[in-house]
Structure formats: structure tokens, C-alpha cells
Structure 1
Amino acid sequence: MRQIVLDTETTGLDPLQGHRVIEVACVEMINRSLTGNHLHLYINPDRDSDPEALQIHGLTTEFLSGHPRFAEVADQIAEYVKDAEIIIHNAPFDRKFLNAEFAKIKRPPFDDLCGSITDSLLYARELHPGKRNSLDALCERYGISNAHRTLHGALLDSELLAEVWLAMTRGQDALLMDFEQTGSTPGVQGVRTEKFDASSLPVIRASAEELTEHEAYLDALDKAAGKPCVWRAEASA
């Protein structure tokens, strides 16, 4: 199962007002393990950021002017996210910007490139109703240090969200996880589980040495209790 934790930074709040993507960061997980195969791009938007946005991300027009435009990195982004589950905190915001960027260069929308898109904010709200579920709040709740986060940066935020996501979904490490997602039924937020078949589990029998040690342990229990231990009582019954 390939999952990509994605974040963007933008020049403002609305692509319909001409705002653009200026940073894209993706962190790859395969079978819930971080691979270190990140994608991190700064993008020249050919415009200034709104003062409020600049205060958040700190990426100046001068800095961004030395980086490629979106059309030059679109293939790289498309190839990286192809068919993966994309995890985004407040997904509608990033999706509308990425869809707008692909539309500008007359390409299919970003949504069509992915296997699925999961909104980690919605997941957190279902898990923690009535509580703050910003990335900072979730880091605090799950004991993930974000002390080095003074500005919003897409790569740092993606790395933090990946840790948060693994903590929030820790129960998915169970035996019932279906990493291939074949022949299964839909679960929460796209997670799929298989009907459990105990016959598929290997039987590992105790060695003679282990059986001897086990009997010695039960003898000690019998002596301490002054009667046969529950294990032997149940076995004889």
C-alpha cells in the first residue's frame, strides 16, 4: 500500500483570484513505513504573495523567481503521486489549488492522478469530536515535537502530518489489514479489511526444551498455590 502525505504553500487563499501554488511537498509511506523518498519543489508563481500568506510561509517573490514554473514540474508531480492514496490535512484547500494549476496547463485534474484522497482533518474530527484538530494541536495530542516549526513549510508540515497519521491510525497495524485492497470491503476512510481466516496462520509448536521449562514453571505455581494451578485444572477438566 503506497500512501503519500502531501502539503502545499500558496500565494493566497483562492485560485479563482489568481493565487498560485508556490511549494509542493510529498512524503512517501509504503505499508505504513516512511521510505525517505520525498518530493519537494519550490515553484515560481509569477506574482507576489499576499502579505498574510507571506507572513505564514516566508517565501519571498525574489526567492521563488529562481525556481521553475508549475508547467515545468507538472510531470514530476503527476508521476510521483500516480495511483497512490494521498493524505492531506484539509484536503479541499490543496486540491482546489492543484486542480487549478493542472487546468492552467490544460492537463487532467490532480484528483484524477491519484488512487484516492484522504482528508486527515476529517479523520481527526471523527476521532476527536469537539476538540482542536489543527496540525499543531494533533502534534501536541500525540506527543510529536514541532518545536522547530516557526514558519509553515510544506515539507516540514508533511513530515509532521505523516507522524500524526501513523499515530492516529495505529490500530490499522492489526492482522486484518489488507495492503493489496483486493476482494475486500470498504472500511473507515478507505481502509479495507479482509474476513479473518485462522487457518492461514502458521502453527509453531514448542520444542522439547520449551515444554520442559513450561512444566517446571507450572510445578512452581502448584507449589506456591498449594493446589494445581488453573492451567492444569482446566486441562484435566
Structure 2
Amino acid sequence: MREIVFDTETTGLSFSGGDRLVEIGCVELVNRVETGRTFHCYFNPERAMAAEAQAVHGLSDTFLSDKPLFAEKVEELIDFLEDAPLVAHNAGFDFGFLNGELGQCGRPLVAMERMVDTLQIARQRHPGAKHTLDALCTRFGVDRSHRVLHGALLDAQLLAQVYVELTGGRQIGLTLVSDEPEPIVTQTVASVVRPPRPFAANAAELAAHAAFLKEIADPLWLAEA
């Protein structure tokens, strides 16, 4: 099964309030294994970056000023996403901005049925624990030492590892997937029964045993009951 783990960075918290998407990072999984295919792009939001948002991801107005508009890359993004389920942490936020940008471009919105929210999965699996991406990386031993600031592609790559752990662990990747049905192996009892082996003592062995018994003083088996 093909899935896309993705993350976004924005100018703020509300698309309807005028904030825009400035970065998206996507990681392709097939049968919960990373394929190495990714999609990553920065976008010029055509508005000023909020200081609070820049403190989170470090993307400045100057850095984004020469980046393409979302509309200029939307077809590449749609081609990469195809119809795969989309996995995100606190997915409602990312879907809100993704669909906001798609709608503004006149493109079909992503159906909410495709949304997989790792935050909700984590809350169900580990109630009462911390559920931030950093906390989940620590829980599952995912190395995040290179995560100084938030970054869409980096966070998507970390989340992909967390998602695998949340949904069964790394042993999933050890399964050999094949389109061919596995053969049914049957074996009758007769096929594993070995013929009896002869263990009877020969004449020389019987004589040696009798001589040995004669050397035992007061054997217990001859004692009076």
C-alpha cells in the first residue's frame, strides 16, 4: 500500500485568517517502508512572515522572496500525492492549509477520508503521555539530534519513522511482499515418521553385562523384601 507522510510550515496558524503555506515536505511509503522518493518545496507566500512563525521554522521573507508560488508547483505536488492516504501529525492543521492553497488555485480539495492523523493514533495508543513529534521520537528511539528548527521535509522523515512504530514497528519492513500468493505447505504424519532403530544388545554385550552384575556386592535387586 502506498502512503504519503507529509508536513507543512506556514506564516501562522489560520489560512482563513490570511496565513499561507510556505513549505511542504512529503515522504513516500510503500507497505510502511520508505522508498526514497520525496517531494519538497518552499513557496513565496506573498505576505510578511509572522515573527512567531519564523522563530519556529527560521524561514524569512528574504529567503522566501525568490521561491515559486504555490500555484506554480501545484501540479507537481498533485502528481506526487496521487490518491494515496496522507499521514500528518495534527493532520487537521496541515490539511487545512493544503486544501486552502488547492482551493485558491481552483484545484480539487483532498478528501478528508484520506487523512491519517498520527496525533490521534498516539493519543489512543499512549493515553496520558506526551504526543509531540519530539516526544514520540524519544519514545521510539528515532534520532532527532539534527532537528534544530522545524522543517517540513525533515519533520516528515522523522514522522515516517514514528508512524511505522505507531502502527506495528520496524518488523513490518522485514516482510517480503509479493504479488504471488504464498504456497500452502502440507505434510502428512507418515512423511515425518522415521522407521524404528534396532537397540537390542548382541550376545557379547549381554555377556559383558552379566559379568559386571556378578561383581556387585549385595545388589539391591537381590535384597529380601
- Do they superpose with TM above 0.5? yes
The residue matched to 2:16 in structure 1 has which SS?
helix
The residue matched to 2:55 in structure 1 has which SS?
helix
**Which runs of structure 2 are paired with 1:129-144 in the superposition (5 Å)?**
129-144=127-142
State the shift of 1:11 in Å: 0.4
State the shift of 1:211 in Å: 9.4
Provide the C-alpha distance between the structure 1 equivalents of 2:123 and 2:4, rounded to a whole number of angstroms: 20
**Which runs of structure 2 are paired with 1:29-108 in the superposition (5 Å)?**
29-108=29-108
Provide the C-alpha distance between the structure 1 equivalents of 2:105 and 2:61, rounded to a whole number of angstroms: 22
State the shift of 1:203 in Å: 1.6
Matching residue's letter, 1:99: N
What do residues 153-176 of structure 1 show as CA deviations (whole Å, max 9, x unaligned)?
0011000000011111126949xx
Q: Does 1:16 align with 2:16?
A: yes
**Which runs of structure 2 are paired with 1:138-217 in the superposition (5 Å)?**
138-170=136-168, 173=172, 201-203=183-185
Provide the C-alpha distance between the structure 2 equivalents of 1:41 and 1:74, rounded to a whole number of angstroms: 10
Contact 1:99 1:111 survives alignment (8 Å): no
Report sequence identity in percent.
44
Provide the C-alpha distance between the structure 1 equivalents of 2:31 and 2:186, rounded to a whole number of angstroms: 26
Structure 1 residue ranges without an equivalent (≥5): 181-198, 216-237
Cα gap change, 1:167 to 1:211, in 2 (>3 Å)? farther
Matching residue's letter, 2:75: D
State the shift of 1:40 in Å: 0.3
**Structure 1 stretches of 4+ moved >4 Å:** none
Q: What is the number of residues matched between the two proteins?
A: 186
State the shift of 1:83 in Å: 0.9
Contact 1:9 1:22 survives alignment (8 Å): yes
Matching residue's letter, 1:13: L
Contact 1:31 1:179 survives alignment (8 Å): no
Max radius of gyration: which structure? 2
State the shift of 1:34 in Å: 0.6
Higher relative contact order (CA 8 A, sep 6+): 2
Cα gap change, 1:137 to 1:211, in 2 (>3 Å)? farther
Matching residue's letter, 1:106: G
TM-score when normalising by structure 2: 0.76
Matching residue's letter, 1:65: S
State the shift of 1:48 in Å: 1.4
Contact 1:4 1:87 survives alignment (8 Å): yes
Provide the C-alpha distance between the structure 2 equivalents of 1:35 and 1:57, rounded to a whole number of angstroms: 26
What do residues 199-237 of structure 1 show as CA deviations (whole Å, max 9, x unaligned)?
9653287xxxx999xx9xxxxxxxxxxxxxxxxxxxxxx
What do residues 162-202 of structure 1 show as CA deviations (whole Å, max 9, x unaligned)?
0011111126949xxx999xxxxxxxxxxxxxxxxxx9653
